[in-house]
Amino acid sequence: MTTMTVLVAAALTATSAGAPAPGKLPPEVSKEMMAAIVATNKALGLESWPMHDVKPCVDRGGQGITAKEVTPEETRKCAASALEKGFPELGKSYLLAVPMTEIGPVTVLAIGIAGSEGWGAYSCDPDRKCLPVKIGSPNKWGKRIAERVDHVCAEAGTLWFPADKRACPNATPTAAATAPPPAPTAPPPAKK
């Protein structure tokens, strides 16, 4: 009987080895989310990275009257180039969202999907870690990330990476998505 108990305990331990505890974000996904945010921030010149001698791939100009507008197309191209390699979980465990304004990108969010759903992180200064937090948890950071997720999901101009996916937990389908497809049009019958 003791041998059977030990074998069952060993089997259960082996099955759960490497899996995160329920409600926890896998450490490798957490690290990759943070790295993807930093890579995108550097590429887009956000969070004072240019002041740390990091040259962005978009020209944001300067501050005030010397600032230049950065288009969504420039932003997407630049961020995509920064995310080309080294982010195997992007699109599988998390997505990135870049909210846009008239002058260009504002910040970067990583939002968990699939097994990482409910977790998120957002841009922070170069000297800080952009740690993922549970979205909507009762602490200050959980509430902030929930507000930011709601904001990027509500804005039509938000850029998503990968471009074909969204991570909006409270999203309702748009009228266009729920409307029936238009009836096929046939050419008028030929006159005899």
Q: Which of 39, 45, 147 is nearest to 105 (CA)?
A: 45
Phi, psi of 71 (to 5 degrees): -75, 160
Residue-wise pLDDT for 34-47, tens only, equals 999 999 988 888 87
Write the CA distances from 53 to 6, 79, 126, integer angstroms: 57, 18, 11
In whole angstroms, give the CA distance from residue 98 to residue 84: 16
Which one has a higher pLDDT value, 147 or 171? 147
pLDDT category, 66, cuts 50, 70, 90?
low
Q: Is residue 177 part of a domain?
A: no
Q: Is residue 175 part of a domain?
A: no
DSSP bridge partners of 104: 101
Say which residue the tokens 């509500």 belong to. 154
Q: Is residue 63 part of a domain?
A: yes
Q: Is residue 192 part of a domain?
A: no
How wide is the angle at C-alpha 125 spanned by C-alphas 158 and 47, nearest 5°? 45
Q: What is the DSSP letter of 55?
A: -
pLDDT category, 24, cuts 50, 70, 90?
confident
Q: Is residue 17 part of a domain?
A: no
> Cα 173 to the chain's mean position, in Å?
20
State yes or no: pLDDT of 153 exceeds 90.
yes
Domain that includes residue 158, residue range: 23-168
Is the overall model pTM greater than 0.75, yes or no?
no
Q: Is residue 182 part of a domain?
A: no
Quick one: which H or E segment has residue 17? none
Q: Is residue 13 part of a domain?
A: no
Number of domains in the chain: 1
State yes or no: pLDDT of 92 exceeds 50.
yes
Q: Is residue 135 part of a domain?
A: yes
